[in-house]
Chain A
Amino acid sequence: MLESFVFTVFNGVLYGMLLFMLASGLTLIFGMMGVLNFAHASFYMLGAYFAYQISVYAGFWPALFLAPLAVALVGAATEKWGLRQVHQHGHVAELLFTFGLVYVIEEVVHLIWGRNPVNYHVPPSLDFTLFTLYTTDFPAYRGFMLLVAVVMFVGIFLLLTRTRVGQIVQASLSHPDMVGALGHNVPRIFTLVFAFGTALAGLAGVIAGNYFITEPGMAWAMGPIVFVVVVFGGLGSLTGALIGSLIIGLIQTFAVQMNYSIADLLSGIGLSIPQDAFLGTIWHLDLSRVGPMLPFLLLVLMLIFRPRGLMGTRET
């Protein structure tokens, strides 16, 4: 029991940190430009595919650095020649643009790499057991993922709070007009932030693509969850994104492990509910099967009761 609990916490934190890698970029872009980048998970997918392609020729380690760079270039191009064009039509048009981008990126991935999963594997140098707790092995690659996520978090934190660029970005988050008035090139900052945000998503793709599966459906699988995380944590708040990621990651990982239903819980206190009772399916639904819908339930509840999210400072 304790063993599975410890490992579920490990996995939940790991999944949460992965979500955070996506959510941090998304929330930076939103906070700065007011653009909810619907295609954020598509850049995550691009990161995985680029990493696969680079690793075929040069191995995993160059891919770790080159793939996010390539994604950043795609992101910068998207902002410069796409989003900026749409900006004049308002936020809904921007959302629509990134929504269309989801289709385009997914189909371009089909076009280049086909519809089947590609053979993107954990590098042999990281394919060993880090430690064994009780009887379960902990793979080294998971430790590596955790390390990358933590380094990235610290990196973003230092970048935003300790450097001049970070200060300008932070200022643009709250007072874009004032920053423009001070002589900074706000459109260029936008392009940089968009490229940086998509690069973070790309990095997440590089380290998650080989741990999970690199396939064209991975963007649709990840996209809505990341939305939940940023809205849950509060749009535009990095701390909120971190807390939101960890909570959603833990909830999802724990829900999969649990085979309890409301009926089981009630029978524990002496109430038994037959299978064919009124709304029988609901009472006897295992938590593990409810798992996939929990994040969205949380999202809807959060938006009803606290629309600005956990740590958000403004209502959208």
Chain B
Amino acid sequence: MTEQTMEQSAKSEAAAAPGFLRRYALWVAGVVIVLVLPYIFTSGSAITMLTQMGVMVIFALSYNMLLGQGGMLSFGHAVYFGLGGFYTLHAMNAVINGGWSFPLELMPLIGGLGGLGWGILFGWVSTKRAGTTFAIISLGVGELVAASAQMFTDFFGGESGITTNRVDAAHQMSLLSLNYGPNIQIYYLVAVWAVACTILMYLLTGTPLGRMANAVRDNPERAQFVGYNPRVVRFAQFSLSGFFAGVAGALFAIMFEILTAENVGATQSGMVLLMTYIGGVGVFFGPIIGAILITWLQSSLSSFSEAWLLYFGLMFVLMVMYAPSGLSGIIMSHYLPFKNGLVRRLLPSYALAVIPTLVMFVGAVSIIEMGYHLSTSYLPSRPMGLFWISVVATDAWSWIVAVAILLVGLAACRWSYRRVGRAWDEVNETLVERGLA
């Protein structure tokens, strides 16, 4: 062995450990963040919100198995979420009544299997087709189940829903002998399941099934020529996605101890679509961003603005129009410029664009909030708080000023976004010159 090769092998051995860390740095960091978060945000409501984020992360990732990875736009994904949750509630109640024994920690498996079972049944029907037809079938199945939820009151509990008590269920049987009364214990239960499901779903993207799902999404005909039946690939992907949705529904049920027919309905299905799309369907971690952001906005916005759904809707529509790759897509597009030290060429144009965007935002929010104040307040002429000043919504001048701010913002945005576009053109040109893009 020559000196040179010895040196090389020593180097590679030394690089092995940091190599592992470097490769999985994001994952390790993610797990560490998940573990320490409750020590940073210690208030009860914050922990409840974090727990809900964990549930929604699983749900949104399972939805992205359809939309992002399989190219299947579903309007009825809450069916598997909700049914999984209802199975879990009934299983927990059976444990409480002594009919059966099963640890609370593993209850999400029941929900997952429920979601998987219905995913197999409805998936068999709906994955025969792709594209728009698939979307309509999923809408039909969703409405079908939502309508049945009103009829089969034994299972869905009718108006009042099905309730349970997780402390009683855990009292009957728990692997860790915890009682799951405090929110923090539920947080860690959800966290463990969320991390496990995220890893599993990530690993799935690397399996032949995951790769073929992408192929079927991009070009079903070619996938067929390679020897795969697109329908079977879609079906497998759909059923597995139902499993993870069921797990999320089960955790939701354990967390809130109640589910109603609404949880299988169109609102829930729409919400997961919004989350996933806003987060971005093209990148694996996109839905995680979407789920966290939307859950946070939902609870923080809805407490001080009635218009939160309008903001969601507008955000979604603007995303579809101008940023179809979602937030994660925007982040990822900066990866190449960042690696090559070109980001600083973009920054001046970004800095220039921030102020007009804020001005436009202030104008739009003012108009929306004053409108809501007029239509919902008992006394519309009462002054309202808006961006730390007091405004009278019935005064015409408030409207004129708000519209003027919006128009100025819009005009400035047009001008400054063009600058951003030009900066991007330059960066892309440089990348092409260097042979990197």
Contact = CB atoms under 8 A, between A and B. Distances in A.
A224 B139 contact: yes
Interface stretch (B34-42, B159-167, B219-227, B311-319): B311-319
A303 B137 contact: yes
Query: Which secondary structure dominates chain A's binding surface?
Result: helix
B133 A92 contact: no
A304 B137 CA distance: 9
B371 A112 contact: yes
A166 interface: no
A307 B129 contact: yes
A102 B314 CA distance: 10
Given A228-B140, A300-B144, A303-B137, 17 more contacts: A36-B132, A82-B317, A95-B135, A96-B73, A103-B270, A103-B310, A111-B310, A224-B140, A224-B266, A227-B139, A231-B140, A285-B151, A292-B150, A293-B148, A296-B143, A297-B144, A299-B137
A107 interface: yes
B128 interface: yes
A179 to B, nearest CB: 22
A94 to B, nearest CB: 9
Given A95-B132, A316-B131, A103 B312 contact: yes
A102 B309 CA distance: 11
A115 B140 CA distance: 27
A220 B266 contact: yes
Interface of A: 36, 82, 85-86, 89, 91-93, 95-97, 99-104, 106-108, 110-115, 220, 224, 227-228, 231, 281, 285, 289-290, 292-293, 296-297, 299-300, 303-304, 307, 315-316
A228 B141 CA distance: 11
A115 B310 CA distance: 14
B125 interface: yes
A100 B376 contact: no
B1 to A, nearest CB: 57
B368 interface: yes
B140 A296 contact: yes
A305 to B, nearest CB: 11
A290 B151 contact: yes
A227 B143 CA distance: 11
30 contacts: A82-B321, A86-B321, A92-B131, A92-B132, A95-B132, A99-B75, A99-B270, A100-B320, A102-B313, A103-B316, A104-B310, A104-B314, A106-B313, A107-B307, A110-B310, A110-B372, A110-B375, A112-B375, A114-B376, A220-B266, A224-B140, A227-B140, A281-B152, A289-B151, A292-B150, A293-B144, A293-B151, A296-B143, A304-B128, A316-B133
B323 to A, nearest CB: 11
Given A89-B324, A111-B307, A300 B148 contact: no
B368 A111 contact: yes
A45 to B, nearest CB: 15
Contacts of A293: 143-144, 147-148, 151
Contacts, number: 129
A224 B324 CA distance: 25
A99 B273 contact: yes
Contact of B313 (A107, A289, A315): A107
B277 interface: yes
Contacts of B317: 82, 97, 100-101, 104
Given A97-B320, A100-B313, A297-B144, A227 B266 contact: no
Contacts of B423: none
Point out which of A89, A111, A297 has the most chain B C-beta atoms below 10 A from its C-beta: A111
A282 B141 CA distance: 18
A214 B430 CA distance: 58
B154 interface: yes
A281 B151 CA distance: 9
B136 interface: yes
A93 B132 CA distance: 10
B178 to A, nearest CB: 37
A113 B132 contact: no
Nearest to B148: A293
Contact of B321 (A36, A97, A220, A290): A97
Q: Nearest 9 pairs between A and B by C-beta?
A: A103-B313, A293-B147, A107-B310, A100-B317, A104-B313, A296-B144, A299-B140, A100-B316, A114-B375
A258 to B, nearest CB: 15
Contact of A224 (B133, B143, B372): B143
A307 B140 CA distance: 13
A300 B140 contact: yes
Contacts of A104: 310, 313-314, 317
Contacts of A285: 151
B372 A111 contact: yes
Contacts of B310: 103-104, 107-108, 110-111
Contacts of B148: 293
A261 B270 CA distance: 34
A303 B73 contact: no
Contacts of A299: 136-137, 140
Contacts of A82: 317, 321
A36 B313 CA distance: 18
Contacts of B139: 224, 227
A96 B132 contact: no
Contact of B320 (A96, A111, A300): A96
Nearest to B140: A299
Contacts of A290: 151
Contacts of B135: 36, 92, 95
B307 A292 contact: no
